[in-house]
Amino acid sequence: MKKNLIAVLVVTLASVVYAEKLSLNISGGYTTVRMDDMNKNLQSQKEQFDQTIEFLEDFGETGSTSLTKFGSGIFLAVDAGYEVLSGIFIGPKIVYLSCSQAKLTAEFSSFLGLLI
């Protein structure tokens, strides 16, 4: 009985000592994202649509384009660590990032005038 009590006491004491060195953090928030290559590609496609609209205006057609670029998002992070030295933790970290959707739209009037 004494051996069991001593074993439980040692395990409890060790758990308390090591529990102070463990950490689990959860964070989340709003962030900005830089997707320059994607935004440049979308801008290039928008300019091509604008040139097509300018060409069609010579034939009496109309059209418009609009572009919403990538720019912001939300994130959720979970990390667990073990303190090896004071203030220095090692361990895994998992982060999920969701960006706002980019949108490129091009609207043209009917092409029936070109077909006749």
What does pLDDT average to over the chain?
83
Given a cut of 90, whether residue 113 has pLDDT beyond it is no
As a whole number of angstroms, the distance between CA 29 and CA 43 comes to: 28
Helix or strand (DSSP H, E) at 96: strand 93-99
> At 12, is the pLDDT very low, low, confident or very high (cuts 50, 70, 90)?
low
Q: What is the pLDDT of residue 100?
A: 87
Per-residue pLDDT, 21: 78
Q: What angle do CA 45, 51, 53 make, to 5 degrees?
A: 105
| Residue 11 vs residue 71, higher pLDDT | 71
